[in-house]
Amino acid sequence: MALALHRPALFSSSPDLAWSWLPPFAAVLAYPHLLAAFFQRFNAQDGSPVLAVLAMASAFAVTALGFAFAWRLGHAPHPTARSLTARRFAYLTVAAPPLFTFMGVLLYLMKIEGADAAVWTGLWTAAAAWVAMLQLTRRSDGDAVDEAAAPAGMQATRALAALRVTHGISAAALIVVFLAPHLFNHLVAWLGDQAHQSLMLQLRKLYRHAWVEPALLLAMAFQLLSGLALWLPKTRRKANLFDVLQLASGIYLTFFIASHVNSVFVLARHFGVDTNWAWAVSAPAGLTGDAWSVRLIPHYAIAVFMLLGHLACGLRVVLLGHGVSDARAGRWAWIALAGATIVAIAISSAMLGARL
């Protein structure tokens, strides 16, 4: 009884937690309008740069807010079905940038113009209505999720462990063959567009090889499916900061990869567009000079951080599995996250025109 009386309210099964997804939902609805405000302020002759930067910072904050609420909900050691639904919805809002880009490309392919904000609002409102109905039909207490039952049994636990290892091996192969060279190629843009183009043509000989490219696509598909299979049961457990970042980055990358593959293989190649640096940065207008392309600024910048952040969290898990202390593993993870931030800023700056 004493423990129950002194348990922090944050860890309780309070009905308030069941509706804590509402602030991230409101932020997601504002996301297209924040991007539009940035474009208008940044490109207006009498616009205010301060207001433009504030609008873009607020767009980035949509992902940060979803992360913050997912972290808050992740503290509960014994989540209820209602708080679990709220937690997963908060994770979904983290992926607002790639979801908005993905939706925009699909609408473009369907020749639906000027309806991005309206469709976005409708889809998220429908999702929110579904979540609200789930929350209203569940009890506010007494419905704690049984962590041991999902997945149930030793066999399922072993299967998840094997899947986790395979997921890591596949990720390592993707890093070596494609992701590391690809990110390095973007960093080379600091030396000029021609330097980027020259290196890209050399790298394409590897990852566009007739045998390598299909293998990369299969590996990416496996990463998405296996990642979701690992993500769902892990959202049921109490999570620290690194756990939440790993889950948030995983769901972000799921939609980013789906969006990027769709843009490259369905949109660009279908119309015979070369997916080079000029395509990535929306030349000649640039990412800031086109009303549609401004969405790519948070889309790409957060993706780079999430990718490297996901690897940093994975590194921590590997270190812990090899007997490294939690404190030391955490320090290595923080160092890796600092590096992820620097790389994300550097690549984003290059895409916005920064050069040496």
The pair of structure tokens assigned to 270 is 């279908």
Confidence of residue 144 (pLDDT cuts 50, 70, 90): low
Given a cut of 50, is residue 111 above it in pLDDT?
A: yes
pLDDT grade, residue 155 (50/70/90)? low
Tokens representing 39 are 């474009």
Question: pTM of the full predicted structure?
Answer: 0.90
Computed from CA positions of residues 8, 63, 56, 40, in that sequence, does the dihedral angle turn out positive or negative?
negative
pLDDT confidence of residue 79: 77
What is d(CA 58, CA 42) in angstroms, rounded to the nearest whole number? 14
pLDDT for 1 equals 36
Torsion sign, CA atoms 52, 54, 57, 58: negative
Encode pLDDT of 262-310 as tens digits: 888 887 777 888 889 999 999 999 999 999 999 999 999 999 999 999 9
Say how far apart CA 309 and CA 314 lie, in whole Å. Answer: 9
Quick count: other Cβ atoms within 10 Å of Cβ 330? Answer: 17
Q: Which of 220, 210, 243, 352 is nearest to 293 (CA)?
A: 352
CA distance 67 to 15: 20
Lowest mean pLDDT among 44-53, 119-128, 136-145: 136-145
What is the predicted pLDDT for the residue at 8? 39
pLDDT of residue 7: 40
Lowest-confidence region among 98-107, 267-276, 338-347: 267-276
Number of CB atoms found within 10 A of residue 112's CB: 13
So what's the pLDDT on residue 3?
A: 38
DSSP 46-109: T--HHHHHHHHHHHHHHHHHHHHHHHHHHT-SS-BHHHHHHHHHHHHHHTHHHHHHHHHHHHHH
Average pLDDT over residues 227-234: 91
